């Protein structure tokens, strides 16, 4: 039976005294994967080049960069590492301040025996393991929340429409999505598209988005009672803003939204833009893209005017692109935004495709531009093609 090799915990020891590094190195390497550095500057390089470390230990009294400064930098670049400090007798009060303000787990007084250091490292490693367990639990909860959101909270794209193809995607940056999409179908020739973007990312933004979608449905239902006429986009957005303003203000949140109604019989699009990125409209007759933009504030910010809606007329083979700023503001490794140039160049090549193929090619181009699938912001796109 083969012996299973135990992985040693990896630690970084930073001290400007070579004798101390050598002495501790001889005593610790049996149980620890030990990396040493003789200055704070070298220690930071080792974190970048050889990390992650479960524990980082630094001497306080080092030239140029003392231990507190070094560990403060280490906190920013390696926040999951457990940080410890070695300090002389006269530095006790400074070390205490470091523990209170610098998120340092323990400090040890020099001279520190190998036995004391070993026990302290073991306590630090247990702390690191607990932090990793908590991190994994949080990630699992967020993943489950994302699965619930995708399964229960995102409406399927309408397919039984007379004169329009729809295709949509929403991809979260942190497992759960702060963007949201909704569709309201009144008849095969009349339907609404809603795209919203909650300020912020992660679980809190996703909860605000879920609440906004629920309030939006209740708003449409409330305005539709006792009348055969469908409420206009302006009526819906006015009531939504009025009812959510105080709650979003308490949460210090706001939501950019676009609410658009397609009337396929009359070939009109009526929309309300609440601080959202422009909706893009491709006119086949003119063979050009136009930006549809409104003048309303985001939901949650007090409105200085009544919700304002606009109407345009479209033709067969026209295209409409609704999206969140995660698309236009995505950056490549060089720091350029997708919306700076690449976005419109790509759009000029896509109007000939179906809505589904258009969306597929656009997402592929965006991913190739940013260079990976880890987006800095939530990515939401809806493509509507008039047939």
Question: What pLDDT is attached to residue 1?
Answer: 42
Judged by DSSP in three states, 351 sits in coil
Question: What pLDDT is attached to residue 90?
Answer: 61
Question: What pLDDT is attached to residue 220?
Answer: 93
CA nearest 321: which of 222, 195, 197, 189? 195
Tokens 């070094």 correspond to: 70
Confidence of residue 4 (pLDDT cuts 50, 70, 90): very low
Q: Answer whether 0.75 is exceeded by the pTM.
A: no
Contacts for 231 with CB less than 8 Å, ≥ 6 apart: 220, 223, 224
User: Given this structure, which CATH class describes domain 10-126?
Assistant: alpha beta
End-to-end CA distance of the chain: 68
Question: What pLDDT is attached to residue 149?
Answer: 57
For 80-134, what is each residue's pLDDT tens digit?
A: 999 998 887 666 666 666 665 557 888 888 888 889 999 999 999 999 999 888 8
For 216-258, what is each residue's pLDDT tens digit?
A: 999 999 998 888 789 999 999 999 999 998 888 888 889 999 9
Largest CA distance in the chain: 87
Q: What kind of fold does domain 143-386 have according to CATH?
A: Phosphatase 2c; domain 1 (3.60.40)
Contacts for 42 with CB less than 8 Å, ≥ 6 apart: 14
Spell out the domain ranges in the chain: 10-126, 143-386
Provide the token pair at 149: 């959101």
Neighbouring CB atoms inside 10 A of 333's CB total 9
Provide the token pair at 238: 């006015």
Neighbouring CB atoms inside 10 A of 132's CB total 12
The separation between CA 374 and the C-alpha centre of its own chain, rounded to angstroms, equals 9
């Amino acid at each position: 039976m083969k012996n299973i090799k135990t992985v040693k915990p990896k630690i970084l020891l930073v001290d400007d005294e070579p004798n101390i590094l050598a002495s501790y190195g001889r005593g610790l390497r049996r149980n620890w994967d030990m990396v040493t550095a003789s200055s704070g500057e070298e220690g930071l390089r080792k974190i970048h080049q050889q990390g992650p470390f479960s524990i980082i230990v630094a001497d306080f009294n080092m030239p140029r960069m003392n231990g507190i400064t070094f560990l403060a930098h280490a906190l920013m670049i390696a926040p999951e590492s457990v940080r410890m400090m070695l300090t002389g007798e006269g530095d006790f009060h400074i070390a205490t301040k470091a523990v209170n303000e610098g998120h340092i787990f323990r400090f040890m007084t020099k001279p520190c025996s190998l036995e004391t250091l070993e026990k302290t490292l073991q306590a630090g490693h247990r702390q690191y393991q607990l932090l990793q367990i908590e991190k994994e639990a949080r990630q699992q909860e967020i993943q489950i929340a994302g699965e619930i959101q995708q399964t229960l909270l995102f409406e399927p794209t309408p397919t039984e429409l007379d004169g329009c193809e729809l295709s949509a995607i929403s991809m979260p940056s942190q497992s759960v999505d702060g963007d949201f999409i909704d569709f309201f179908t009144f008849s095969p020739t009349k339907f609404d598209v809603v795209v919203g973007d909650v300020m912020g990312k992660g679980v809190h933004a996703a909860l605000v988005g879920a609440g906004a979608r629920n309030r939006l449905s209740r708003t449409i239902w409330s305005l539709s009672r006792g009348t055969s006429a469908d409420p206009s986009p302006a009526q819906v957005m006015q009531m939504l803003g009025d009812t959510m303003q105080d709650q979003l203000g308490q949460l210090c949140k706001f939501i950019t939204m676009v609410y658009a109604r397609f009337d396929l019989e009359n070939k009109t699009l009526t929309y309300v833009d609440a601080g959202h990125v422009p909706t893009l409209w491709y006119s086949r007759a003119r063979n050009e893209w136009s930006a549809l933009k409104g003048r309303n504030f985001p939901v949650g910010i007090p409105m200085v005017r009544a919700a304002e809606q606009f109407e345009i007329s479209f033709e067969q083979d026209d295209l409409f692109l609704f999206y969140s700023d995660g698309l236009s503001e995505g950056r490549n490794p060089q720091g350029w935004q997708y919306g700076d140039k690449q976005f419109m160049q790509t759009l000029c090549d896509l109007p000939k495709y179906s809505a589904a193929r258009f969306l597929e090619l656009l997402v592929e181009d965006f991913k190739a531009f940013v260079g990976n699938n880890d987006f800095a912001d939530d990515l939401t796109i809806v493509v509507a093609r008039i047939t």
